[in-house]
Chain A
Amino acid sequence: GIQVEQSPPDLILQEGANSTLRCNFSDSVNNLQWFHQNPWGQLINLFYIPSGTKQNGRLSATTVATERYSLLYISSSQTTDSGVYFCAVDRFSGGYNKLIFGAGTRLAVHP
């Protein structure tokens, strides 16, 4: 099956720093989503980005589908950005969508 790899697995930042998280996938996909899981377990949709670039405040994402990777940029990080960031790819099969998740990048932002 399709493999989703995220890097780095862990990241520690000082507040105000910028960072880039990477997601590689092993096969063509229909779509890709980025999620943030907060310390209480809630998964929050960040981006739905099959290709191209999107921005939302201090966060932006770029997916290059032909090269099978996506990047999540966090600028001017804040302590509230701490948590786990997941990339999930979407393979449409059998009439419904099936998300396959990477292992995540655990981010800790220190004041």
Chain B
Amino acid sequence: ETGVTQTPRHLVMGMTNKKSLKCEQHLGHNAMYWYKQSAKKPLELMFVYSLEERVENNSVPSRFSPECPNSSHLFLHLHTLQPEDSALYLCASSQDRGDTTDTQYFGPGTRLTVL
């Protein structure tokens, strides 16, 4: 599916680096999500933005900082990460109609390695 794109696809960074992950959706959706997928763990929801406003933050450490400048773009700014933050970071979007019929569509993910 090419409706949701993520860059970069792979990222290796040191613990003192600052980097950003980018997500862009081309589906006209108004809600965007960041998920973290660690080895041998279920996908974990990190952040939810609806109409560019953050509506959920699942106790994520402050070294992860999201930004949603408009309904098509979502960023995840990273700084002073730890090796245990190495994971696949997935972005998703959906049409938040304010009812129960929402379907989320996922990007290909960014595989992050923290050295």
Collect the chain B residues with CB atoms within 8 Å of residue A98's CB: 45, 48, 56
Which of A12-20, A38-46, A53-61, A68-76 lies at the binding interface? A38-46
Who on chain B is nearest to A33 by CB? B103
Chain B, residues 75-115, CB within 8 Å of chain A (1/0): the string is 00000000000001010101010111111111011010000
User: Do A99 and B104 touch across chains, with their CB atoms under 8 A apart?
Assistant: yes
Band of interface residues on A? 20 to 34
CB distance from A90 to the nearest CB of B (A): 7
Asked if B43 lies at the interface with its beta carbon under 8 angstroms from chain A, I say yes
User: Do B108 and A41 touch across chains, with their CB atoms under 8 A apart?
Assistant: yes
Interface size on B, residues (CB 8 A): 28
CB distance from A36 to the nearest CB of B (A): 11
Collect the chain A residues with CB atoms within 8 Å of residue B43's CB: 86, 88, 99, 101
Collect the chain B residues with CB atoms within 8 Å of residue A33's CB: 103-104
Collect the chain A residues with CB atoms within 8 Å of residue B56's CB: 94, 96, 98
Closest 5 CB pairs of A and B: A30-B100, A43-B106, A97-B102, A101-B43, A41-B109
Question: Which A residues lie at the B interface, using CB under 8 A?
Answer: 4, 30-31, 33, 35, 40-45, 48, 50, 86, 88, 90, 92, 94-104
